[in-house]
Structure 1
């Protein structure tokens, strides 16, 4: 992630995808029934894409930029739950 404020762009993309999905879902009820599977796949893709872009925005907003950052977050969660730290040879 190159920019500090890139999470805002990902959030905007998520909101736009979600809004387009909701609009398309409401609009698709009428029309040609032969194209319904294609329309349903397109709308489902918008909802799945909105979910992933919002997840990416959440990760970027929290300052997680690498796998090592993820490992550090996992170690912090384990220590806050009272679990003992993993040994170095246990990590994949």
Structure 2
């Protein structure tokens, strides 16, 4: 596949993101049962699953796009700015 950096490991990021999202939705739908003093921990755990899912999906997107370093991301940003006709940033 072109654009995946040649190794295709981005599928693992997609699987990890999906698993975190499914676990978060399942925990959210199940609700909370038990001692009320543990409610903040449960809420934090569910929120962490959703945030982790988004972060993992974004990391997988970057890896699949062939962006592996900050310099690669800077090149993408400058090409987008050039395409929009925005003057380059001063370093």
Aligned to 1:74: 77
Aligned to 1:14: 17
Q: Does the residue aligned with 2:21 lie in a helix, a strand or coil?
A: helix
Structure 1 residue ranges, 4+ long, deviating more than 4 angstroms after superposition: none
Provide structure 1 residue ranges, at least 5 long, that are not aligned to the other structure: none
Q: In structure 1, what is the Cα distance between the partners aligned to 2:36 and 2:49?
A: 20
Root-mean-square deviation (CA, aligned residues, Å) is: 1.7
* Distance verdict in 2 for CA 1:34–1:40, change over 3 Å: same
Task: Work out which of the residue numbers 79, 82, 88 in structure 2 matches 1:85.
Answer: 88
Q: In structure 2, what is the Cα distance between the partners aligned to 1:64 and 1:28?
A: 38
CA contact (8 A) 1:17 1:46 kept: yes
TM-score by length of 2: 0.85
TM-score by length of 1: 0.84
Aligned to 2:53: 50
Q: In structure 2, what is the Cα distance between the partners aligned to 1:54 and 1:34?
A: 32
CA contact (8 A) 2:32 2:42 kept: no
User: How many residues are matched?
Assistant: 87
Aligned to 1:29: 32
Q: Does the residue aligned with 1:34 lie in a helix, a strand or coil?
A: helix
Provide structure 2 residue ranges, at least 5 long, that are not aligned to the other structure: none
Q: In structure 2, what is the Cα distance between the partners aligned to 1:79 and 1:73?
A: 10
